[in-house]
Chains A and B, each alone.
Chain A
Amino acid sequence: MSKMNFSRRGVLKTGAVTGAGLALPTIFTSSASAYTNEPTGSSVKLGFAVPQTGAYAEEGLDELRAYELAVEHLNGGGDGGMLNTMSSKTLDGTGILGKKVEYVTGDDQTKSDVARALAQSMIQKDGVVMVTGGSSSGTAIAVQGLCQEAGIIFMACLTHSNDTTGKDRKANGFRYFFNAYMSGAAIAPVLSGAYGNERRAYHLTADYTWGWTQQESIAASTEALGWETVNNVLTPVGAGDFSSYIAPVINSGADVLILNHYGGDMVNSLTQAVQFGLRDKMVNGKQFEIIVPLYSELMAAGAGSNIQGVYGTMNWNWQLQDPGTQAFVKSFGEKYGRPPSGAAHTAYVQTLLYADAATRAGTFEPCAVAAALEGFEFDGMGIGATTYRAEDHQCFKDVLVMKGKESPANEYDTLEIVEVTPRAQVEYAADHPMFGGAEASLGECNNG
């Protein structure tokens, strides 16, 4: 039995704390503005939540460089970059709707809970009107959900899982980056041509939403060719040492290893798979091959010579020759001394698309901006004509199938474009089973 002391002060204190706690949800929406974080002064604030630590940190740092470049161009600095090439000519370097663009950044550590807390702090404390960033689908889906609740637009950056615009799609969220289904649809014909239709594939898969959906998509598209999926083993994100997962592949009867890994995981698993001599083996009378369905130049740099001859897909690559790409590569290259990665390109484009949509809508109100983006057709931002589909807020455009170069000329030249898959080949219905089926819907947009 414990004694409870009631003093007047104690009761008052507890009451105050309880009251504040109960009022907390209303603090979200209690402001007198028409929508969350309506910008009132001469500036508008954007929130860049990127991973600066964790397995995907290198991509996050490159995204941050691109975001800063985008803000510089929006405010009229630099050489304007894609503002000069994009098909929609509303942006003129005076900020967004005349307001100067400012930004806050934070580290989401590649973890979903940290990402949510970071986004919440940016919305509540820093008053951002749009949140963008992330290089993991886990964080993207978490932040997308939070932004939907808070009445903020979320422009997803690096997220490849089908679920982000599939079963977890939200009315306030928009994705420019391609997804796992598109990768599978693009890479399957190339693999069929290169390796034939009689292959047996072993999958090593990162154990979270992106890994599962990519494995599902790649397995579906390769099995449609006639390949057999021998096994699918889930590996923890950030595992480091994959030797115990690679050893069983050797005698499994598989002649292709498909690595559904990204970032630091892929660098380690590919390096170790090559160390185990997998690429020198002959199985079933064929050369053993390794495929990494999604990779980036940063990962290729980390994998070194092990990336040679490995097929994969990318959303965009700096080697494309269209004017939008060239303008962006020039701006980024001159500022940072290196070509931009796909993640950087997506970060830059999403920021510009948001600014453009807000300008066309004439307001920062989320529902109006969302309406301006839905069904939007644009070009001049790299990789050709693109559409933002209204039913699921996913961008549809061509997909690049890449291969690791056998003799790279320099450290940025590690990948070569094998094919530019036309977008018609990677399109799917909005109610496709891998994307949540008929039940998946955006819901209502939320102004906060």
Chain B
Amino acid sequence: MDALFLQILNGLEKGGAYALIAMGLTLIFGTLGVVNFAHGALFMIGAFVAVTMQRIFNLSHEIVDATQKDFLGNPLKVKVPYVIEWFGDGFGKFLIDWSVPLAILLAIPVMMLVGFVMERGLIKHFYKRPHADQILVTFGLAIVLQEIIKYFFGANPIPTPAPSEYRGTIEMAFFGLKLSYPVWRLIYFFFSAVVIASVFAFLQFTTFGMVVRAGMADRETVGLLGIDIDRRFTLMFGIAAAVAGLAGVMYTPILSPNYHMGMDFLVLSFVVVVVGGMGSLSGAVAAGFLLGILQAFASMNEVKSLLPGIDQIIIYLVAIVILLTRPRGLLGRKGVMED
């Protein structure tokens, strides 16, 4: 029973990541009509923003310490981070320790800029092109971004730990079950819930959001009403990029960032979008959590002993079933993808 609940928690946490990425994808598809295969790369760039923040805080100058030796027998060059020098030991170490959450502050403008550049520079030219062209171009862009990151950061996963207070596990006891679960994964789930709620609130309760929702429903009419929908949609692209980036930043303590994490999440996120319904935000979020939990369940040993290898294919099986029986997805609008 404990194992079951642990897997539910795992699924919720993974589902949070899928939901955030899928939400960004759906936003872009719903507003711009672009199938953006570079979205996984945005998730990865977000993660590397956290790495960069950690490196910025760890920027140091070297002091040669003759009392210690390095591996060649030469006097050791000890690195002293600048933040510790300027702000003292306590605050300096605090900054380095909290580099992942502090990276959120850096990630939002950086990701919006990246999204803006991507959209104005490349995606804009593909609005009217068939989806196949968009897929090719954005997939190629994803590979280029991946190789750029690999060139600058290397091929090894880079450890980016969570702040020290949150590195351990938390003991939970309820309904007679006792579980311990990593704290940061719980934090990640709540963080993703907050971000999802904020995006929904933004779309629901602001004028800007109202215009975007109107544009998603019927773009032509909004144009006829004299509203410049293009600029708003560009901003939405930036917001979607920022959401993916935030998902990446907070995920770094769970999965050390490496250059191909974008691709790993991309396929699954697309499946989530398809299952939830292209163009439906609530569908994307619901499907994200649903598929996260399904995948976690399918990884349980009891299930795998019945159906070996099921954890690899369960998500795709569900996608196939949905595409065959209800192509518009669970919560998709009638008529989308059905013809």
Contact = CB atoms under 8 A, between A and B. Distances in A.
Contacts of A305: 161
Contacts of B301: 231, 233, 248
A183 to B, nearest CB: 22
B204 interface: no
B312 A244 contact: no
B255 A410 contact: no
Interface in B1-53: 2-3, 6-7, 10, 13-14
B100 to A, nearest CB: 13
A292 interface: no
Interface string A48-71: 000011000110110000000000
Contacts of B264: 238, 240
A162 to B, nearest CB: 24
Contacts of B59: none
Given A250-B180, A275-B254, A245 B156 contact: no
A77 interface: no
A329 B180 CA distance: 44
A272 B157 CA distance: 13
Interface string B242-272: 0000000000011110101100100000000
Contact of A241 (B14, B158, B184, B300): B14
B155 A251 contact: no
A247 B169 contact: no
Size class of the contact patch on chain A: 35 or more
B159 A303 contact: yes
A267 B157 contact: yes
A248 B300 contact: yes
Nearest to A319: B71
B157 A410 contact: no
B28 to A, nearest CB: 24
Contact of B10 (A57, A238, A247, A304): A247
Contacts of A330: 72
A244 B168 contact: no
A72 to B, nearest CB: 18
B155 A58 contact: yes
A276 interface: yes
B158 A302 contact: yes
B300 A244 contact: yes
Residue of B6, B7, B312 with highest tally of chain A CB at under 10 A: B6
A2 B181 CA distance: 65
A412 B155 CA distance: 18
A305 B227 CA distance: 55
A293 interface: no
Contacts of A318: 71
Dominant SS among interface residues on chain A? helix
A426 to B, nearest CB: 27
Nearest to A52: B155
Contacts of A241: 14, 254-255
Contact of B255 (A52, A268, A303): A268
Contact of A277 (B68, B76, B182, B312): B182
A317 to B, nearest CB: 11
A298 interface: yes
Interface in A226-255: 231, 233, 236, 238, 240-241, 243-245, 247-248, 250-251
Contacts of B7: 244, 247
A409 interface: yes
B157 A275 contact: no
Contact of A412 (B71, B182, B300, B312): B71
A413 B76 CA distance: 12
Interface string A206-243: 00000000000000000000000001010010101101
22 contacts: A52-B155, A53-B150, A58-B156, A238-B264, A241-B255, A243-B254, A244-B10, A244-B295, A251-B3, A264-B156, A267-B256, A268-B157, A271-B256, A272-B254, A275-B167, A275-B169, A275-B254, A276-B182, A302-B156, A304-B159, A305-B161, A333-B71
Interface of A: 52-53, 57-58, 60-61, 231, 233, 236, 238, 240-241, 243-245, 247-248, 250-251, 264, 267-268, 271-272, 275-277, 280, 298, 301-305, 318, 329-330, 333-334, 338-339, 409-410, 412-413
Given A243-B254, A304-B161, 16 more contacts: A52-B155, A53-B150, A57-B156, A243-B13, A244-B7, A247-B3, A251-B2, A264-B156, A267-B256, A275-B184, A275-B254, A276-B169, A276-B181, A280-B169, A333-B71, A409-B76
